[in-house]
Amino acid sequence: MTKKCIYCNSEIHDDRALDVCNQCGVGVWGEKMFNAILKNMGEANEKGDLCNSNLSMSEPPSKFGNNRISFG
């Protein structure tokens, strides 16, 4: 299965976890950062950690701190 770069739609022939070609990746993040991202994502992919993101969408209800009534 051939992957395509999400930026320029060119084909990616290696099995990287990121659907971004080298040219666009370096253009977006810079060479060092892009290499680090590829490395990190590769490791996460091997461990199967990509699906275990702990994003909590729930926020505590807003408090009525501004509406305090002072007795007194």
8 contributes a contact to Zn ion by CB under 5 A: yes
| C-beta pairs of 16-19 under 8 Å, 24+ apart in sequence | 16/41, 16/42, 17/41, 17/42, 17/44, 17/45, 17/50
Least spacing, CB of residue 4 vs Zn ion, in Å? 8
Name which position in 5, 17, 18, 41 contacts Zn ion (CB under 5 A). Answer: 5
User: Which of residues 12, 18, 24, 37 is near Zn ion by CB under 5 A?
Assistant: 24
Q: Distance between CA 20 and CA 33 in Å, rounded?
A: 13
Based on the shown chain and the rule CB under 5 A, indicate whether residue 7 belongs to the binding site for Zn ion: yes
Q: With binding defined as CB under 5 A, does residue 21 bind Zn ion?
A: yes
